Amino acid sequence: MKSSEIRRSFLEFFKSKNHQIVQGSPIVVKDDPTLMFINAGMNQFKDVFLGNAPVKFPRVADTQKCLRVSGKHNDLEEVGHDTYHHTLFEMLGNWSFGDYFKEEAIAWAWELLTEVFKIDKKNLYVTVFSGDEQDGLSMDAEAKESWKKYIREDHILLGSKKDNFWEMGETGPCGPCSEIHIDLRSEEEKTKIPGHELVNRDHPLVIEIWNLVFIEFNRQANGKLSVLPQKHIDTGMGFERLAMVLQGVKSNYDTDVFKPLINFIAKMAGVTYGQDEKKDIAMRVISDHLRAVAFAIADGQLPSNTGAGYVIRRILRRAVRYGFTFLDFQEPFIYKILPVLVEQLKDVFPEIESQQNLVEMVIKEEESTFLRTLSQGVKRFDQYINMNPDSKVIDGDFAFELFDTFGFPIDLTRLMAREIGLDVNMEDFQKGLEAQKSRSRKAAEKTTDDWIELIPNAPATKFLGYNRLECEAQIVKYRQVTQKKNTMYEVVLDRTPFYAESGGQVGDSGVLEIAGQVLHVVDTRKENNLPIHIVAEEPKNPTATLLAKVDMEKRRLTANNHSATHLMHAALRQVLGTHVEQKGSMVDSERLRFDFSHFAKMTDEEIREVEKKVNAKIRENISCQIKENVPIEEAKKMGAMALFGEKYGEQVRVITFDPGYSVELCGGTHVPATGQIGFFKVISESGIAAGVRRIEAYTADAAETYIFEHLDLMTEIQGQFKGAVNPLTAVKNLIQDNSSLSKEIEQFQKEKTHQLAGELMKTAKKIGDFTYVVRKIAIDPNQAKNLVHQLRAMEDHMIVVLAMEEDGKANLVVGLSDELTSTGKFNAGNIIRKISPFIKGGGGGQPHFAMAGGKDPSGINEALKAAESEIVSGS
């Protein structure tokens, strides 16, 4: 069975059981500080479980891209070494929100596996939660009874809290779970060791394929469990593993999910998969990582040096490293594999096809910068080896520096060391790494106290901020948060006019007036759909009714920038083309920043054209049409621009400025009509990654100030040129004159020193064939340098000592001809050190040329005398 059929069968099966088939969410997580990427099918329903969002469909099924780079069974460094762990994988799942429960979940799972997929029942094992004394829970008899209808009792195993009790986090919804495992070993193996002994033992052929979670409790902050009024089902089945089972192969990488990728890589590298374990690992790593990186970029997460972007960069670099080391790829190669992946998955995940160009460019660019990093690391490594030819062990501190500062992977350092018979001091390396980690942790240390709940089980916060900037409200809960000795309070209200940071628009600030106390709201953020007001003071009387007031001025300026962003987005698509897509956006009260896909630097003309279009739309004073709760399909028909990597519900909000110009899905706040924006001015255009440009711009007062400042500067410049009509030509002429004058001066000085050199030569004294000049002259010290160099080239055996006086300071210069220097008889540095004390100074230089400076010009004569006697006695 082809993997695409497996996926389709799964979805169709649950559709036949009245499930709504939904789209998986993009893997990049935006509003959950505890999570960077979607790592389980249930992530997109977290708000539903937490009660922060209403249930749209009671029964749902989907396939969800998941990305895991760390966790109990999945360390990035291990992926590729075995045959069944991945960074990116698909999770097939079905859900019930307060609808069916254990009985049906179990029955359907069994039906799908054994009747649709025709898996042999005798190879299946299931596990059931055995109970936990501490939590006061007994064995999950309900699940066990259900299973007994389908499977022999000796294939039902009991599991502890560790394997069979699922929790979302420290607190929140949780419950027992029941896993389905499969034994894929040969008959012979099975008779040797019975399958039930290998379940949950990390055996590569006795593996978990499906986990059914029965959410029925809520873990409270005090650690106690309470029973949920609504019970839910949450299941997840690893798609790649299922494919392995149904295609009768022993490794996920042998399924048609990975095989085309592996074959392509093998062909490119000129090797055969299955011949050399190290090369096989490399190919597995590359095929796995390509999938992760490609989808992350398609969903809007570009590689970068912080946060989620850094995770993506690390994954990609790991793939490059394996290709570089084991498959001898010296040039970017991963981007070349992308078309294979696109061909495989474009029907299921269309974003990978529509974003293909960008993904390819970004990957290629990342690859080449990393290869550059690698070659610089190799250079530094060689330098180290040359400087420490005798050491048997490479310094751990050096290896760490290479890694930490230059991004050179430690295992490459070790590999290169081994090749020349050296070891790396890993202990010191680890020490360095630990020190780095603890420094970072300390800097990011944040202590979060428990929520103080004032209104238990409150419904989701009502947002009133689209229409009102002020309202009365109650505190639902609040808690203290301390970071770097800075204490803040997070406050949740039952209703609020405060906009929480989202869609690139910053959170509102303002005040909460409560029982005569004023709490300053410095920011408003969203965590799992819950708007949180960050407040500087602790509420003294938290149960009182409060008055929430948003900072109107800031909100107004922010709206200007946000609406201008929409107008600019549309203008960019008109001017540059429809390949322009939003890749990021930041809007606050001071400016707007917009990242978008485009392949080249914008020309000045293009920027000007965009500015003109936006300003024209501002002058048209188009009123903003806002439509709430529009079904997504209808919004798309309206021509609304949706963003890749953005998660949209079934009902969306549509912002329109002229239906023929700008229609966008957006949750932000906007101007009532474009005229309020006043004026729009781009202040910078730059590149932030391959194929991605960034524009920053001002609107309204800020744009006005910007223009005025520039005009004022212009006026001042014009003033400097008095009557000049065109200051540009005046400046050009000035620069031209300046450079020709400097050249002339240089020429004069050359001539002057040449002349001076000739004159000085006339006063030169001789001892045999040995010539010397010792003089005090009036010349600029920099010119003296030139003069000495001229003089010392005039005779084979020559010493020049010159002294100058300037601004009450004394300078000495000593020069030797090259020939004389090579005899070693004299040394300019030595001479200068002997004579510089006379002028109360010091100096130095090379054997053939030295300079000194001092504070006492009255000592010049003595210094020269000393120099002369030194020369005479030495000759």
Partner RNA sequence: GGGGGAUUAGCUCAGUUGGCUAGAGCGUUUGACUGGCAGUCAAGAGGUCACCGGUUCGAUUCCGGUAUUCUCCA
Which residues make up the interface to RNA (CB under 7 A)? 305-307, 310, 313-314, 317, 369-370, 372-373, 376, 401, 403-407, 433, 436-437, 439-441, 443-444, 686, 785-786, 789-790, 793, 809, 811, 841-846, 849-855
Judged by CB, which is closer to RNA: 166, or 370? 370
Q: Measured from the CB of residue 713, what is the shortest distance to RNA in angstroms?
A: 17
Distance CA 459, CA 473 (A): 14
Q: Measured from the CB of residue 338, what is the shortest distance to RNA in angstroms?
A: 21
Q: Measured from the CB of residue 436, what is the shortest distance to RNA in angstroms?
A: 5
CA angle 331, 336, 338 (to 5 degrees): 140
One-letter amino acid of 119: I
Distance CA 484, CA 482 (A): 7
Q: Measured from the CB of residue 192, what is the shortest distance to RNA in angstroms?
A: 42
Q: Measured from the CB of residue 323, what is the shortest distance to RNA in angstroms?
A: 16
Close Cβ partners of 603 (under 8 Å, ≥ 6 residues apart): none
Judged by CB, which is closer to RNA: 110, or 849? 849
Q: Measured from the CB of residue 832, what is the shortest distance to RNA in angstroms?
A: 7
Buried b / exposed e over 360-371, threshold 16 CB at 10 Å, is bbbbbbbbebbb
Judged by CB, which is closer to RNA: 404, or 538? 404
DSSP 127-181: EEE--BTTTTB---HHHHHHHHTTS-GGGEEEE-HHHHEEESSSSEEEEEEEEEE
Q: Measured from the CB of residue 46, what is the shortest distance to RNA in angstroms?
A: 21
Q: Measured from the CB of residue 845, what is the shortest distance to RNA in angstroms?
A: 3
Contact in structure between 506 and 518 (CB atoms under 8 Å): no
Judged by CB, which is closer to RNA: 444, or 725? 444
Q: Measured from the CB of residue 600, what is the shortest distance to RNA in angstroms?
A: 17
Q: Measured from the CB of residue 388, what is the shortest distance to RNA in angstroms?
A: 13
Cα dihedral across residues 223, 225, 229, 231: positive or negative: positive
Judged by CB, which is closer to RNA: 64, or 817? 817
Q: Measured from the CB of residue 145, what is the shortest distance to RNA in angstroms?
A: 44
Buried b / exposed e over 40-75, threshold 16 CB at 10 Å, is bbbbbbbbbbbbbbeeebebbbbbbbbbbbeeeeee
* DSSP H helices in 684-780: 700-720, 727-762
Count CB atoms within 10 A of the CB of residue 16. Answer: 10
Q: Is 691 left (phi over 0), alpha (psi -120 to 50) or beta?
A: left
Contact in structure between 859 and 751 (CB atoms under 8 Å): no
Distance CA 506, CA 516 (A): 28
Distance CA 22, CA 6 (A): 17
Q: Measured from the CB of residue 406, what is the shortest distance to RNA in angstroms?
A: 6
Q: Measured from the CB of residue 405, what is the shortest distance to RNA in angstroms?
A: 4
Judged by CB, which is closer to RNA: 276, or 818? 818
Of the candidates 375, 380, 378, 413, the residue with the CA atom closest to the CA atom of residue 394: 413
3-state SS track over 584-629:
EEEECCCCEEEEEECCCCCCHHHHHHHHHHHHHHHHCCCECEEEEE
Of the candidates 468, 499, 508, 688, the residue with the CA atom closest to the CA atom of residue 593: 688
Partnered with residue 805 across adjacent β-strands are 810
Alpha carbons within 13 angstroms on the beta-carbon side of residue 582 total 23
Judged by CB, which is closer to RNA: 434, or 701? 434
Q: Measured from the CB of residue 288, what is the shortest distance to RNA in angstroms?
A: 19
Judged by CB, which is closer to RNA: 48, or 832? 832
Judged by CB, which is closer to RNA: 306, or 873? 306
Q: Measured from the CB of residue 426, what is the shortest distance to RNA in angstroms?
A: 15
What's the count of helices (H) and strands (E) in the chain, helices before strands? 25, 35
Contact in structure between 482 and 446 (CB atoms under 8 Å): yes
Dihedral pair phi/psi, residue 790, rounded to 5°:
-65, -45
Q: Measured from the CB of residue 805, what is the shortest distance to RNA in angstroms?
A: 12
Judged by CB, which is closer to RNA: 242, or 412? 412
One-letter amino acid of 688: I
Judged by CB, which is closer to RNA: 132, or 696? 696
User: Looking at 391-474, which runs of residues are DSSP E strands?
Assistant: 393-394, 423-424, 446-448, 452-453, 462-463, 470-473
Could you identify the residue written with the tokens 């400016």? 591
Distance CA 76, CA 3 (A): 25
Q: Measured from the CB of residue 308, what is the shortest distance to RNA in angstroms?
A: 9
Judged by CB, which is closer to RNA: 570, or 866? 866
Distance CA 155, CA 182 (A): 11
Coil/strand/helix, residue 325: helix
Of the candidates 234, 227, 262, 223, the residue with the CA atom closest to the CA atom of residue 80: 262
Judged by CB, which is closer to RNA: 376, or 391? 376
The token pair at 62 is: 């989907």
Judged by CB, which is closer to RNA: 317, or 533? 317
Could you identify the residue written with the tokens 């202990």? 427
Judged by CB, which is closer to RNA: 372, or 462? 372
Within the chain, what is the greatest distance between any pair of CA atoms?
A: 119
Partnered with residue 483 across adjacent β-strands are 446, 486
Q: Measured from the CB of residue 376, what is the shortest distance to RNA in angstroms?
A: 6
CA angle 209, 213, 214 (to 5 degrees): 150
Close Cβ partners of 626 (under 8 Å, ≥ 6 residues apart): 466, 653, 654, 655, 656, 670
